[in-house]
Amino acid sequence: MSLDAVLQTFYVEAQEHLELMENVLLKIDEGECNDELLNEIFRSAHTIKGSAGIFGLDHIVNFTHVVENVLDRARDNEITLEKSLVDILFNCRDHIQKLVSVNLEEFNAQSELQNIGKDLLEALSPWTSSDEESGSTQNSQNLETENKETSSAELENENDNCWHISLRLSADCLKNGMDPLSFIKFLTSLGEIKHIETLIDNFPNTKNYDAEALYFAYEIALQSEASLEEIENTFMFVQDDSNITILPPSAKVDDYLHLIEKLPEENQRLGDILVNCGSLTKHSLEQALASQSHENINAEEPKSNHKLGELLTEQHKVSKEVINAALTKQQQNKSKASEGKQIRIDSNRLDHLINLIGELVINQQRIELLSKKTNNPVLIEAVDDFDNFTNQIRDAALNLRMVPIGGTFQRFKRLVRDTAQELGKEVELTIEGADTELDRLMVEKLGDPLTHIVRNAMDHGLESIEDRTAVDKDIKGQLKLSAYHEAGHIVIAISDDGNGINKERVREKAIEKGIINPESQLSDNELNHLIFHPGFSTAAAVTNLSGRGVGMDVVKRNVEALQGSIDIDSKEGIGSEFKIRLPLTLAIIDGFHVEAKSTHFIIPQATIIECIDLANHEDIKGRHCINLRGDMIPYLNMTEIFNLTPSLDVSVADALAQTPTKKELVIVQFGNDVAGIAVDKLHGEIQTVVKPLGPIFKALKGIGGSSLLGNGDIAFILDIPQLIELAITNEANNKADAINISPNEK
């Protein structure tokens, strides 16, 4: 993997962690605060810092480090996350996000960004601790004290997580095909090598020199989040004949002392190397060596012997704890990874896959037809199994493109919180239908229009607290984001219980801006739609949230670019609702497959109430209405409404045979309307992929899209509300025609 690719991974990961932090902060802000959440947010900050460190992105490390410290203190219950701190943490999170988006040079060039960082750190200072200094001095103090317990919390803090690795590889290492350099390189994948010392003490004189032998020894300080096991695994192939000591970040000076003793090189020199590595401080080394020699002198004293033994067991105990801590951490990381396991794929590749699978399904259908002709039961069964799997593959492939809208909605929680604070309003956001699935591309492109609408709703729609109390409304404004399927479309609705659109003001403004004539009579609906006019804004003062008059027309254009439409329903004093209707490109819907005059149609399953036999129900007085259990239900005839003629490949005789008096009626419901659709044949339920018909057919009402049937035939997906509307206009036109024609009729 090239460095760029790895960096890309870092950005993606950092983004995920930032989102996680935001979610946790939102939960904490809502009053939900427990250890798990605190751990989660701490881990996120910690991981960002760690990975940034690997890439030498010091600007991120320095800032995140402080944030992490504060979070750590909260985790240890040293401080509580009060409202003011949460606010600062929100800002800190945003700042980290900004830091991630720039590289080090850019950061150094932007003094503004640096100042924001400074201000934030300043703001955090009441909550940062003085622990750090005491942490570093702890090592030396601990030498003589009996207290050698190491809590996992301390592990995170001390010595910046530097492991100390002492490498004494066997002289035969190179002969065995192992290059020590490759181990060191691999270590950089686990963390950052802070310091490395090469020891050449073993170097023989030129006479004894063997060009194939390894004489180097290494002392390495490694800053890493990796577990002991992972680091040990690096040396898996050489550990048998080499002398490798790995000291965890929390290792006590005693452990180093032990290391110094164990190694063949001279103690004082080794000590200096350790100081160079940053593993020991000069002071503690001197103390340690002094006490060591002191102990050596008093070797006969049983107490110190005992102490040495204790030291060994102690070391054992420590490393065990370290391993446990490392293991649990690793497991946590693993479970976290499986929660949000994702890969990123170019959507073109997905489209290609989906097309291929479409071919597969069609071929499968052909094989099925052929197999049935053979009357070979074994073959037919095998093909049936094949059929089953092909369909599963198709569904799985189609699902790849779909993502739930919940992720997008979730982002608005933060926006609403911040905007509410800025405006001094109280707003409660409810989310419905978060698991409604939408094509990935659409989800991405919906972000902007939704943001505009939500901001507008909060700025202009919802009233201030005083106004709300004045009209006896709950001071908390309600804002609702919902998504649902409706008749082959996906509807995203944004509703508020605010003031609604002031139609008089809209009218005045439109006249003032010359958008409409003062005389023109407009319906309420038309007045509402005026807000989508470019350059229209009703806000008296331009706030920095909205009111620049560029919002709503952009919204409309964005939605139309997605082949969708936007509608407003607004009642003064009660609230407004924006409805974005989007076609389900590539969405899968459950439909009901019917046929009329050899043309295939699919009726969205969600709209269907029941299917009945039309022959059993007589028309009421020649009208297209039937009496269904006492209710009068109008119905429309597909053949008439779409002016269908039998397709060319059906012979006249067949066509005659196919137009029996017996017809099937599918009863559909849309909103409060119930209607019947008369068709020739019912084929049954089908799960189908919606293929948009393209811009040319945009004017065609009643058909929302097309779909491919298993045998490759094309079926049209009915748009029930449009179809009913079409029937109504047709009927009105016919009546008008009838009136016009009747006097002249021959």
Which tokens is 533 given? Answer: 């006019």
703 binds other proteins (CB under 8 A): yes
User: How many residues in total does the chain contain?
Assistant: 746
Cβ nearer to other proteins, comparing 643 with 744 = 643
Smallest gap from Cβ 703 to other proteins, in A, equals: 7
Contact region for other proteins (CB under 8 A) — 116-124, 226-234, 544-552, 691-699? 691-699
700 binds other proteins (CB under 8 A): yes
CA angle (128 as vertex; 123, 131 as ends), nearest 5: 160
Cβ nearer to other proteins, comparing 168 with 394 = 394
407 binds other proteins (CB under 8 A): no
Binding mask 588-617 for other proteins (x = CB under 8 A): -----------xx-----------------
Query: Which long-range contacts does 520-527 make (Cβ < 8 Å, 24+ apart)?
Result: 525/568, 527/501, 527/503
701 binds other proteins (CB under 8 A): yes
119 binds other proteins (CB under 8 A): no
Cβ nearer to other proteins, comparing 461 with 721 = 721
Helix (H) or strand (E) holding 235: none
Contact region for other proteins (CB under 8 A) — 70-78, 254-262, 507-515, 697-705? 697-705
CA distance 436 to 486: 11
354 binds other proteins (CB under 8 A): yes
State the greatest distance between any 2 C-alpha atoms of the chain, in Å, as a whole number.
135
697 binds other proteins (CB under 8 A): yes
Helix (H) or strand (E) holding 197: strand 191-199
Smallest gap from Cβ 530 to other proteins, in A, equals: 24
Cβ nearer to other proteins, comparing 304 with 599 = 599
DSSP state of 691: B
CA distance 531 to 500: 12
Cβ nearer to other proteins, comparing 86 with 362 = 362
3-state secondary structure 391-425: HHHHHHHHHHCEEECHHHHHHHHHHHHHHHHHHCC
Task: Count the site residues for other proteins by CB under 8 A.
Answer: 31
Helix (H) or strand (E) holding 550: none
713 binds other proteins (CB under 8 A): yes
Alpha helices in 613-678 (DSSP H): 638-641, 652-658
348 binds other proteins (CB under 8 A): no
CA angle (86 as vertex; 48, 136 as ends), nearest 5: 55
355 binds other proteins (CB under 8 A): yes
Smallest gap from Cβ 693 to other proteins, in A, equals: 7
Pick from 1, 200, 299, 696: which binds other proteins (CB under 8 A)?
A: 696
693 binds other proteins (CB under 8 A): yes
DSSP string, 494-529: EEE-S----HHHHHHHHHHTTSS-TT----HHHHHH
Pick from 233, 691, 710, 725: which binds other proteins (CB under 8 A)?
A: 691
695 binds other proteins (CB under 8 A): yes
712 binds other proteins (CB under 8 A): yes
674 C-beta neighbours (distance < 10 Å), count: 17
Asked whether the beta carbons of 586 and 439 are under 8 A apart, the reply is: yes
CA distance 68 to 74: 10
Buried b (16+ CB within 10 A) or exposed e, 157-194: bbbbbbbbbbbbbbeebbeeebebeebbeebeebbbbb
Cβ nearer to other proteins, comparing 540 with 652 = 652
Cβ nearer to other proteins, comparing 653 with 699 = 699
Smallest gap from Cβ 732 to other proteins, in A, equals: 13
Pick from 137, 526, 694, 734: which binds other proteins (CB under 8 A)?
A: 694
606 C-beta neighbours (distance < 10 Å), count: 17
560 binds other proteins (CB under 8 A): no
Nearest to 260 by CA among 292, 234, 216: 292
Cβ nearer to other proteins, comparing 59 with 600 = 600
236 binds other proteins (CB under 8 A): no
| Residues in 612-671 at the binding interface with other proteins, rule: CB under 8 A | 642-644, 647-649
Which residue type occupies 70? V
688 binds other proteins (CB under 8 A): no
Contact region for other proteins (CB under 8 A) — 23-31, 121-129, 262-270, 701-709? 701-709
**DSSP-based three-state secondary structure for 222:** strand
Smallest gap from Cβ 605 to other proteins, in A, equals: 21
Asked whether the beta carbons of 201 and 265 are under 8 A apart, the reply is: yes
706 binds other proteins (CB under 8 A): yes
Beta 599-604 vs 631-637: how paired, if at all? unpaired
DSSP state of 544: S
Cβ nearer to other proteins, comparing 634 with 692 = 692
Smallest gap from Cβ 93 to other proteins, in A, equals: 38
Contact region for other proteins (CB under 8 A) — 279-287, 321-329, 547-555, 699-707? 699-707
Cβ nearer to other proteins, comparing 359 with 654 = 359
Contact region for other proteins (CB under 8 A) — 179-187, 190-198, 352-360, 533-541? 352-360
Smallest gap from Cβ 731 to other proteins, in A, equals: 16
Cβ nearer to other proteins, comparing 518 with 695 = 695
Smallest gap from Cβ 367 to other proteins, in A, equals: 17
Smallest gap from Cβ 699 to other proteins, in A, equals: 4
Cβ nearer to other proteins, comparing 397 with 457 = 397
Smallest gap from Cβ 722 to other proteins, in A, equals: 12
Which tokens is 182 given? Answer: 């490759």
Cβ nearer to other proteins, comparing 578 with 642 = 642
Contact region for other proteins (CB under 8 A) — 150-158, 328-336, 625-633, 700-708? 700-708
Nearest to 726 by CA among 700, 706, 745, 693: 700
359 binds other proteins (CB under 8 A): yes
Contact region for other proteins (CB under 8 A) — 13-21, 78-86, 655-663, 707-715? 707-715
Q: In angstroms, what CA-CA distances link 52 with 8, 10, 83, 96, 108?
A: 12, 8, 29, 11, 16
Beta 681-689 vs 673-679: how paired, if at all? unpaired
239 binds other proteins (CB under 8 A): no
Cβ nearer to other proteins, comparing 515 with 650 = 650
Which tokens is 583 given? Answer: 């076609």
Cβ nearer to other proteins, comparing 227 with 706 = 706
Pick from 181, 699, 739, 741: which binds other proteins (CB under 8 A)?
A: 699
CA 74 to mean position of chain CA atoms: 27
262 C-beta neighbours (distance < 10 Å), count: 12
Q: How far apart are the first and last CA of the chain?
A: 84
β-strand partners of 635 = 676
CA distance 450 to 457: 10
Side-chain half-sphere CA neighbours of 553 within 13 A: 10
Binding site for other proteins (CB under 8 A): 354-355, 357-359, 362, 599-600, 642-644, 647-649, 691, 693-701, 703, 706, 708, 712-714, 716
